[in-house]
Amino acid sequence: MAVTLASRHLSVHFGGHVAVNAATAEFRAGELTAIVGPNGAGKTTYFNLLSGQIRASSGQVLLGGLDITRASAPARADLGLGRAFQLTNLFPRLSVLENVRLAVQSRARAGFNFLARTGVRVDLIQQAHGHLEAAGLSARAQDTAASLPHGDKRKLEVAMLMALQPKVLMLDEPTAGMSADEVPRVLDLIRTLKAQGDRTILLVEHKLDVIRSLADRIIVLHNGTLVADGAPAQVMNSQIVKDAYLGTSPSTQRVAHA
């Protein structure tokens, strides 16, 4: 499968601290990669570098072969890089339906003139209802986003990403704070997203059962360094992961392909 997103020797330092150290990785269409590592390993910082929330000190980010290292986060989003933030994308005072409709509209690049056509507006709303149904949120369509319980907010966020249809989807602990019975629905949603149009999905995740059920591939970061990259069975059983991820050895500095 084609490489959609890649980082080459990507680094960032904060003062004297190297948070991500020369990370080189390629992400392919149709592949879901879990990025794991102990607290402070650099997972969120690596995500921020890929999505443009922070600028790299050195190295490159490529999207569809295009060098986007200097592109802003909104420019990257326009180019098809979608990221679910932990609930910061939601419009709290708007209804659940309105939140998703805005995402559908943004995807459709619909301006006011365009929206003035009733047929188009109805179509956008129908599409929004479709995404809400897939997310299991139809019953909450008219409630404000702010009034949703945490798990439903996360589902809404995923529904909005579905509406935006990005080529690359970055999910930051999508099941964080959810009750055990809510998790399967979100995992199903992520599988649906992956199946739609051979999407590239990157997932930062701590829960091993979520990783096992979704990941085609696992990347391990430790002290900002990419220490393992491979198929889940190999990576999870490798000594380097037992050392780095389970924290039995704090000094893992090797770069290995498990």
Ligand X SMILES: Nc1ncnc2c1ncn2[C@@H]1O[C@H](COP(=O)(O)OP(=O)(O)OP(=O)(O)O)[C@@H](O)[C@H]1O
Q: Between residues 104 and 211, which has the closer beta carbon with respect to ligand X?
A: 211
Q: Measured from the CB atom, is 14 or 91 closer to ligand X? A: 14
CB burial of residue 229 (10 Å; 0-12, 13-18, 19+): buried
The distance of closest approach from Cβ of residue 204 to ligand X in the complex, given in angstroms and rounded to an integer, is: 7
> Closest separation between CB of residue 36 and ligand X, Å?
9
CA 99 – CA 57 distance, rounded (Å): 35
Give min distance, CB of 49 to ligand X, in A. 9
Q: Whose Cβ is closer to ligand X: residue 183's or residue 220's?
A: 220
- Which residue reads 């099941």 in tokens? 175
The identity of residue 146, as a single letter, is A
Tokens 């949603």 — which residue? 189
Minimum distance, C-beta of residue 234 to ligand X, in the bound complex (Å): 22
CA distances from 6 to 49, 75, 199, 248 (A): 11, 17, 14, 30
The secondary structure of residue 41, as a DSSP letter, is S
Give the integer Cα–Cα distance in Å for 20 and 49. 9
Q: Which is nearer to ligand X, 48 or 105 (CB)?
A: 48
Residue 72 region by backbone torsions, left for phi larger than 0, else alpha for psi between -120 and 50, else beta: beta
6 contacts 25 by C-beta, under 8 angstroms? yes
Nearer to ligand X, 17 or 109 (CB): 17
Pick the closer one to ligand X by CB: 132 or 170: 170
Of 240, 207, 224, 229, the residue nearest 11 (C-alpha):
224
Least Å distance, CB 9 to ligand X, is: 18
133 contacts: CB under 8 Å, gap ≥ 6: none
Shortest Å distance, C-beta 122 to ligand X: 42
Per CB under 6 A, residues contacting ligand X are: 14, 17, 19, 37, 39-45
Q: Do residues 255 and 227 touch, judged by C-beta distance below 8 A? A: yes
**What is the smallest separation between the CB atom of 224 and ligand X, expressed in angstroms?**
7
Minimum CB distance to ligand X smaller for 207 or for 242: 207
